[in-house]
Amino acid sequence: MKELRTKQFQILTDINLVWDFLTDIYDRKNGSGVAAPFFEHAILASWMDNSYSYLNRFWFDGDTVGSIATRESRLYSKNPIL
């Protein structure tokens, strides 16, 4: 482990970091989640609460992305189905 640090996600400059991280960790054979394009769809989707996007953060180990923390869905909804 090198130097741990965090950085706030900024969509215009960091989307490639997300893409590279998600394609590096994705393993279709072992079912390790969904491929990278899902994140690009999710950050623009109606079900994602973008008012909390300022909380999205990267965790770095040195210069390498080790984790991404995001806030995806609403805590509550006026629609009982959601």
Q: Is residue 38 part of a domain?
A: yes
Question: 46 by DSSP, 3-state: which?
Answer: coil
**Around Cβ 16, how many Cβ atoms within 10 Å?**
8
Cα separation, 75 vs 55, whole angstroms: 15
Domain count, the chain: 1
Q: State what percent of residues in the chain have pLDDT above 90.
A: 9
Angle at 12 between CA 72 and CA 67, to 5 degrees: 50
Q: Is residue 80 part of a domain?
A: no
Q: Is residue 37 part of a domain?
A: yes
Q: Is residue 81 part of a domain?
A: no
Closest CA to 58 of 26, 24, 11: 11
Q: Is residue 78 part of a domain?
A: no
pLDDT tens digit sequence for 4-36: 899 998 888 888 888 888 888 777 777 666 666
Average pLDDT over residues 64-81: 69
Q: Is residue 17 part of a domain?
A: yes
Q: Is residue 79 part of a domain?
A: no
Of the pLDDT bands very low, low, confident and very high (cuts 50, 70, 90), residue 54 is confident
Average pLDDT over residues 55-78: 78
> What pTM does this model have?
0.65
Which structural domain range is residue 58 located in? 4-69
